[in-house]
Amino acid sequence: ELAWCGLTETEAKNTNRKVQVAKFPWGASGRAQTLGRPDGLTKLILDPDTEEVLGMGISGVGAGELIGEGVLAIDNGLKAKDLAHSIHPHPTLSETIMETAEAFYGVATHIYKKPTTRRGG
Give dist(CA 106, CA 100) in Å, integer.
9
Question: What number of H helices and E strands is found in the chain?
Answer: 6, 4
Q: What backbone phi and psi angles, to 5 degrees, belong to 83?
A: -75, -40
The catalytic residues are: 90
The residue ranges of DSSP E strands in the chain, in sequence order, are: 2-6, 20-25, 41-46, 53-59
Give dist(CA 74, CA 67) in Å, integer.
11
